[in-house]
Structure 1
Amino acid sequence: MKGVQPREERTATGVLLMALAVVFFTCIDTSAKWLILAGLPPLQVVFTRYAGHLLYALVFYLPQEGVSALRSRSPKRQLLRSLFLMGSTILNFMALSYLPITVTTTIAFAGPIVVTLLAIPILGEQVGMRRIVAVCVGFSGVLVVTQPWGAQWHPAMFFSLGALVVASLYFIMTRMLAGVESNATQQIWSSALATAALLPFVIRGWVWPEGPHQWAVFAAIGFFGLTGHVLATTAHRLADASILAPLIYTQIFLAALAGILVFATWPTIWTLGGGAIIIASGLYIWHRERQVKGG
């Protein structure tokens, strides 16, 4: 689809696209973990994800839109969006250097709450108290899954909290640029900035993949990144950010499936119980939205 497309009120389609985006986001995380376990440096995996994203974006969009895909109609907002995406990745990486993944995951999954709350003053979206309560109930299910109550406080939690806020601002900026910037410009800018910024830190200690399987995953992670963010960007053009935000919770189940199929790890009873709470919350949000829309 060529050029800038206007915002539309197509909530059902937006929700479906965002759900598919979460599938590809899970593929990114699964590929990254697999590559790291295979011996590639973590920061190099982050760089590979963005560099591949940029390469695929250029190959896909330039033949359709030419150099116009590189020009931003709102460069300041586009720069902010790109910085938010890269910043959330860097902060999360710093937090993971000190904290258990259960703690960082729990904080990250509070994103829908932050997005919902930020969408009110920044985007002017109307969010009812019942939807806010439903999102909070969904987050309580995440707490059941990750069980962070045994973790001790560490200053690095500020990194994880920072990643949470910055990632939420990224999705807010994505909504603000919907109908202003083309998907091509958004994908190229965000991946190009991260690629350029990370290159000096990975070039000296570069490790090449070994064998066809590593090369295949190495090449695919960028494709997963581009596809996931194209879908997420399109979804935010079709539906309110506060409606799309809770869909990120479905990544818990996708991650559990990836754990079984790829890493041979099974979910615990806590994962299943917490998942039931999250599903109930998501169904209520759907029901409430249909009531509001008169569907």
Structure 2
Amino acid sequence: MSGVLPREDRTAAGILAMLLAVVFFTCIDTSAKWLSLAGLPVMQIVFARYVGHLVYATALYVPQEGWSAFRSNAPLKQFLRSLFLFSSTTLNFLALKHLPITVTTTIAFAGPIVITVLAIPILNERVGLRRFLAVCAGFLGILVVVQPWGAEFHPAMFFSLGTLFLASMYFIMTRMLAGVERNATQQVWSSALATVVLAPFAARVWIWPESAGQWAVLCAIGAFGAIGHIFATIAHRWADASILAPMIYGQIFLATIAGIFVFGTWPTVWTLCGGMIIIGSGLYIWQRERQASRC
């Protein structure tokens, strides 16, 4: 297919690109929480994130590939993929309004575990006993973080759990579209659909930023989204997904730093313990997938 770049064996560069993507993903969450605390409506923040992404993606890909970048080979699947992405972003930003960034990030780390579960009925993948036990351990880690039985529980955690499910469905759809769609099409579709759908909702609640700082962050959040996803796309062209998967766990350290220095919040013991369980189970699943791929 025209516009599809071949894979390259550049593992070290791919890992670096994925780490840069993780940095920008953390910037998205940090910016969203900061803008929300500043009083801007969540729907306006989500709209700004995607309209900015659309502007940058269009400016990058249209000069290279023309308007064919908007032409999808699987429009229904691309629509669902885009729907899952911006829906997960909306719930994530709602959660960030009430929860520490370390909590939402830690819950999101269960994504590989949820994807493993969803891949059974959707992608007809088989999961052995040991991987199933690792999945169970991962969900135990989620319970430790969420604490539905304790005083630390906040109803906004349901938004974060919804984010986890929808984001996992987004990656399931991404797997289904692998080798079918160009990177340019996936970038512009996901941002364009969100922009069109969210525009009327954002217009109803729009509040003009009161300071240059708010304007700067509102404009930057779209750039963070576009650059982060572009780096992630490049990374997966340069290195195997199984090698890149653990890089996302570096976000817990970045989220902790952002929480301390930007918002003055420290991770709780429950968040740290649950995060260790989730990361441990995720790394085990990653290792099992690596071994299976070599057989």
CA, structure 1 residues 155+262, in 2 after alignment: closer, same or farther (shift >3 Å)? closer
One-letter code aligned to 2:38: A
Tell me by how many angstroms 1:195 deviates: 0.8
Residue 281 of structure 1 and its aligned partner are, at CA, apart by 3.5
Distance in 2 (alpha carbons) for counterparts of 1:215 and 1:128: 50
Distance in 2 (CA, whole Å) between partners of 1:283 and 1:166 is 21
Question: Does 2:194 align with 1:191?
Answer: no
State the SS of the aligned residue for 2:254. helix
Letter in 2 for 1:57: A
| 1:204 Cα deviation from its structure 2 partner | 3.9
CA displacement at 1:7 relative to structure 2: 7.0
Q: How many pairs does the alignment contain?
A: 292
- How far residue 164 of structure 1 moved from its aligned partner, in angstroms, is 3.7
The residue number in structure 2 matching 1:118 is: 118
Query: What code does the residue aligned with 1:112 have?
Result: P
- With the length of structure 1 as denominator, give the TM-score of the two structures: 0.78
Equivalent in the alignment of 2:39: 39
Corresponding position of 1:82: 82
**Partners of 1:129 and 1:29 in 2: how far apart?**
35
Shift of 1:11: 8.4
Equivalence map 1:122-141=2 (5 Å): 122-125=122-125, 127-141=127-141
- The Cα offsets for residues 182-212 of structure 1, whole Å up to 9 and x where unpaired, read as 1111111111111111111122442222333
Mapping 1:225-240, distance limit 5 Å: 225-233=225-233, 239=240
Long gaps (5+) in structure 1 = none
Q: Which runs of 5+ in 2 are unaligned?
A: none
Question: Does the CA-based 8 Å contact 2:49-2:225 persist in structure 1?
Answer: yes
Q: Mark the CA change 1:289 to 1:16 in structure 2 (over 3 Å): closer, same or farther.
A: farther
- How far 1:89 moved relative to its partner? 3.4
Identical aligned pairs, as a percentage?
70
Q: For the residues of structure 1 that align with 2:221 and 2:273, how far apart are their CA atoms?
A: 31
Alpha carbons of structure 1 residues 24 and 130: separation in structure 2 relative to 1, 3 Å: farther
Structure 1 residue 167: Cα displacement: 2.3
Distance (Å, rounded) in 1 between the aligned partners of 2:130 and 2:199: 45
Query: Following the alignment from structure 1 to structure 2, what is the Cα–Cα distance between the partners of residues 158 and 29?
Result: 17
TM-score when scaled to structure 2? Answer: 0.78
Q: Conserved in 2, the CA contact under 8 Å of 1:51 and 1:192?
A: yes
RMSD over aligned CA atoms reads: 3.9
1:2-81 equivalences under 5 Å are 3-5=3-5, 18-81=18-81
Bigger mean CA offset, 81-90 vs 61-70: 81-90
SS of 2:149's equivalent in the other structure is: helix
Residues 146-194 of structure 1, C-alpha deviation per residue, up to 9 Å, x if partnerless? 4333269999987765544332211111111122111111111111111
Q: Deviations over 1:21-55 (max 9, x none)?
A: 33322211100011112222221111101111111
Aligned to 2:270: 270
Aligned pair in 2 of structure 1 residues 181, 225: CA closer, same or farther (>3 Å)? same
State how 1:123-202 maps to structure 2 within 5 Å.
Answer: 123-125=123-125, 127-150=127-150, 162-202=162-202
